[in-house]
């Protein structure tokens, strides 16, 4: 075992594990960290990795030989070769100096592995004042019922063929939100259903894929979705209807919870906060 839990646990202000991302607080354990070390370099997905559903090989891996694990700080570097390559150093620790040390390590490892990007991921607790970056939020389906909101939302495949065909234009317009990638997965039948909002016989918003899979301790979780509404129809409540329809689907299909990552003060962040989700903390990724 590499990690000492009595050192690492006090440093975990946010339940985020390198290469896995956010996890349920009840599932957070030294075993998760040890698992990502064992998987490093194999190209295999862990059974509960959210990215496993996309197939292929796991690209991001922990650079286990370059980790720093001390009572007051833990630095865990990862490497991905996608694009021009990126080294990230996840900085666990309560002192501000952990960021400086992580930045030095990131620059050094980017040079060693001949990649262009070096980044530091700083993890901050839910009580952080004036946070930046990404908020980690949790929807607990035990908190109460999630009724069907009604409105012009159905699975894409439940709309007439002429309406379904408008998804391609919608996805192209929302490429930056991942909808083009999602569309490719839909075309080959490699993902769960996608819910779509329709106005005047064309798709103007979508959330999906809708899938429930077990986490590291076997608890069913609603997987993260791509979520977008065309800018010209925002402000009409369609995003809220889509969101509530997705939560209704998740609860109806046995999900216990969902974890989301939202840009602080962005539209999705404000929506989730208004819907009463629990903030678990923040992740701020910065180039160095």
DSSP 99-134: HHHHHHHHHHHHHHTT-SEEEEEEEE-TT-SS--SE
pLDDT in tens, the chain (288 residues): 689 999 999 999 999 999 999 999 999 999 999 999 999 988 899 999 999 988 889 999 999 999 999 999 999 999 999 999 999 999 999 988 999 999 999 999 999 999 999 999 999 999 999 999 999 999 999 999 999 999 999 999 999 999 999 999 999 999 999 999 999 999 998 899 999 999 999 999 999 999 999 999 999 999 999 999 999 999 999 999 999 999 999 999 999 999 999 999 998 899 999 999 999 999 999 999
Domains of the chain from N-terminus onward: 5-124 (no CATH), 137-281 (3.40.630.30)
Q: What is the pLDDT of residue 281?
A: 97
Which residues, 6+ apart, have CB-to-CB distance to 191 below 8 Å? 53, 182, 185, 208, 209, 211
Cα(283)–Cα(210) distance, integer angstroms: 25
Q: How far is CA 58 from the centre of its chain?
A: 15
Contacts of 263 (CB under 8 A, 6+ apart): 133, 134, 135, 269
Residue 274 has what DSSP assignment?
A: H
Q: What is the pLDDT of residue 43?
A: 87
Look at residues 242, 246, 168 and name the one whose alpha carbon lies nearest to residue 210: 246
β-strand 73-80 against 68-69: which pairing, if any?
Answer: antiparallel
SS3 93: strand
Q: What is the three-class DSSP state of 3? A: coil
């Amino acid at each position: 075992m590499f990690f000492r839990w009595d050192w690492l646990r006090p440093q975990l202000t946010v339940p985020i594990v390198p290469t896995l991302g956010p996890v349920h607080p009840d599932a957070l354990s030294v075993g998760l960290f040890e698992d990502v070390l064992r998987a490093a370099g194999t190209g295999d997905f862990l059974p509960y990795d959210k990215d496993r559903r996309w197939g292929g090989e796991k690209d991001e891996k922990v650079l286990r030989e370059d980790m720093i694990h001390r009572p007051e700080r833990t630095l865990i570097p990862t490497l991905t070769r996608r694009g021009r390559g990126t080294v990230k150093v996840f900085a666990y620790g309560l002192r501000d100096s952990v960021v400086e040390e992580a930045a030095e390590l990131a620059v050094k490892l980017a040079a060693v592995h001949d990649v262009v990007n070096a980044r530091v991921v700083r993890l901050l607790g839910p009580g952080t004042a004036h946070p930046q970056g990404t908020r980690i939020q949790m929807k607990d389906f035990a908190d109460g019922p999630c009724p069907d909101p009604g409105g012009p939302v159905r699975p894409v495949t439940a709309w007439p063929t002429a309406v379904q065909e408008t998804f391609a234009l919608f996805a192209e317009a929302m490429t930056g939100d991942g909808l083009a990638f999602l569309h490719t997965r839909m075309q080959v039948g490699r993902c769960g259903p996608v819910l779509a909002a329709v106005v005047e016989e064309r798709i103007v918003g979508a959330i999906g894929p809708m899938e429930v899979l077990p986490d590291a301790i076997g608890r069913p979780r609603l997987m993260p979705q791509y979520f977008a509404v065309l800018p010209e129809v925002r402000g009409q409540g369609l995003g809220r209807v889509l969101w509530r329809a997705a939560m209704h689907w998740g609860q109806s299909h046995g999900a216990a919870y969902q974890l989301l990552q939202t840009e602080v003060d962005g539209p999705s962040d404000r929506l989730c906060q208004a819907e009463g989700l629990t903030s678990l903390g923040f992740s701020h990724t910065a180039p160095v």
